[in-house]
Every structure is written in C-alpha cells, then in structure tokens.
Amino acid sequence: MNYPEKRLRRMRYNTILRNMVSETKVSVDDLILPLFVCPGIGVKKPISSMPGNYQLSIDLLIEECKKTIAAGVKSVLLFGIPETKDEHGHVACNADGIVQKAIVAIKKEIEDIYIVADVCNCEYTTHGHCGTIVDGDVDNDLTLETLTLQSLTLAQAGADMIAPSDMMDGRVAAIREILDDNGFEKIPIMSYSAKYASGFYGPFREAAESAPKFGNRNTYQMNPANSDEAMREIEQDLMEGADIVMVKPALSYLDVIYRAKNEFNTPVAAYNVSGEFSMVKAAGEKDWIDEKRVMMEIITSIKRAGADIIITYHAVDIANILKEQNA
C-alpha cells in the first residue's frame, strides 16, 4: 500500500500519539555529569571555555553533587586538579590524592550517589601526557604501573566504578587483576575503549589543566578515520574484563557507537565531550540556535545510535527539561 492510502504523517499530528510511538527516549537514568575537583576551600573557578562549569574545591563539590542529585542525576564522573604534579603521575596514586579525598568526603555527606573515577595521568604529570615518558613517547607498560595503583586507591576511597581513559594496551586486564586481588571484584570497569585523538577536547584541557607540553597523543589515542580499529579495541577490552565500553567523543562518532552496540551487544557509554558542549553553548549565547532544542536533539541522537550511558556536561539541564516534560 502506498500514498494516498498510506500516509506516514498520520502518526505525527497528535503530540500524545507522537510520544507513544517515539522510538528513542532519553532518561535521567542514562546520564553522568563530569565534575572537576581542585585543592582549597571555597574555590569556584570558572572554566572560561565551558560556561556554567567550574573547578570546585571539595566543600563546594559536595554542594554541587547535592544539586545534581536533586535534579535527578545520580552519577558523577570525577576529574582532579592536583596541588603538585610529577613526571610519572605518582601523585594520582596517593591515598590522600585530590580525587581520593573528594570521594571520601562526598560519600560521608551523600548516600544515594554513584561515583565514577576517571583513571589517567594527564592531569597529574608535569608534561601533560597520559603516562611515563621514555625516549619522547609514553611507555605503555611503565604507565600500567601507575594506572593500576591509582585504580586501587580510588577503589579504597570508595569509588563505585573505575574508568580508565589513558588508552594504554592491557590496562583493563591489569586494573581488573589488582582490584580483584584486593577484594574489589564487585567494582565494574568502564573503559574508554575507543577514545579518538580528537580536536573536540580543547575546553577539557583548560578545565583539567592537562594539555600536553609537547607533541600530541596520536601514538595512543585513535585515528578519527578508523572504525574497524575501534571494534578491535572494544573486543580486546571486553576480553580483558571491561564491563562497559565507551566511545569518545560522541557526536562525530555515532557510527562507532552504533557498531559497538550491534556487534557486541554490551553496555555502551558515550562521552558528549567538552568541545561538543561548548559549541552548543557558544551558538546558543549568540542566539544562532535554540540551545535547549539542539542540546536535546544531540543527546537523543547519541541514545538513538545505541548508547546506554551518556556522559555529558548538559546532564542537569537535560534532567530539568525532562522533569518539565513529565510534570
């Protein structure tokens, strides 16, 4: 049957019916909010390229987490800005490291929150790369030593999930082993499995003070031209024990998200990264776009592509919109 008997527009005229047959629905349960914690008391340092985001001292971070929970978003992803840095990122492994202390403090104040701890070295090294440098490049196996110890101390502090973002080979297996050997076999790993060497990370590098002091990250982050390689990375991480795999960034890699979900039928996370966020904010501030509408369209596209979990700086704004829609 074809037009005029078959009219596809019949399903679009009524809002109630349109919502009934909606194939993709975003929920607050899908969302994780990234937050940045820094030393000090009463510190709320604006991130100029990410309007509405801040480096927060632990006392104000707790208050931000309470607001996040009140909005309906129950999970946060923590990044740390340390007081000092070193060549290897050892400062990230200390039991009294900035993120470790933040986790302990948050857990004391807030019961119903799920804390994901990012595991990497770029914020903690003097050179801004994601591991130990040997002959001008990140040494994979030496870096695993800091990543595993960092993961263990974060788990000991009370992290609910470990999320390695470094892109070193073998990191998932190494982290799984140290967690299991120390009684943390219940803690899941969400691996940044397909993390691309992307131009969309610029604002984050301001936020986390993690820009590399030399060169680039092309020897460990993925070539944006490749999706078959992403499937190999994801398969390897799953074989090593990853519970959730991630594609980062999200918007330019919807095809990779789709392939990951369809080929592996496993929980998939997508990171709606800082550059994606900042472009929407900048265009919205200039009234070039309807910011809320574009934000929801982007997040829906990420969910439609197959993401089960969406890490986004828009999380609280999305939660408020969903609350209004359901009122």
Q: Are 97 and 88 in contact (CB under 8 A)?
A: no
Q: Are 119 and 79 in contact (CB under 8 A)?
A: no
For residue 42, give the 3-state DSSP assignment: coil
Alpha-carbon Rg for the chain, nearest whole angstrom, is: 20
Q: Exactly one of 6, 25, 248, 261 is catalytic; which is it?
A: 248
Helices (H), the chain: 15-20, 58-71, 98-109, 140-157, 171-181, 202-207, 228-240, 254-264, 274-285, 291-305, 315-326
Residue 101 annotated as catalytic: no
- For 300, the token pair is 């829906």
Rounded-to-integer distance, Cα 130 and Cα 242, Å: 20
Instruction: From first to last of the 327 residues of the chain, give the pLDDT tens digit.
Output: 898 889 999 999 999 899 999 999 999 999 999 999 999 999 999 999 999 999 999 999 999 999 999 999 999 999 999 999 888 889 999 999 999 999 999 999 999 999 999 999 888 998 878 888 899 888 999 999 999 999 999 999 999 999 999 999 999 999 999 999 999 999 999 999 999 999 999 998 888 778 887 778 888 999 999 999 999 999 999 999 999 999 999 999 999 999 999 999 999 999 999 999 999 999 999 999 999 999 999 999 999 999 999 999 999 999 999 999 887
Give Cβ neighbours of residue 15 (< 8 Å, ≥ 6 apart): none
- For 216, the token pair is 């680039």
Architecture category of domain 25-326 in CATH: Alpha-Beta Barrel (3.20)
Rounded to 5 degrees, what are φ and ψ at 48? -60, -35
Residue 248 annotated as catalytic: yes
Q: Any idea where the domains of the chain sit in the sequence?
A: 25-326
Rounded-to-integer distance, Cα 294 and Cα 287, Å: 12
- For 181, the token pair is 């050997």
- For 317, the token pair is 């704004």
Q: Exactly one of 25, 44, 186, 195 is catalytic; which is it?
A: 195
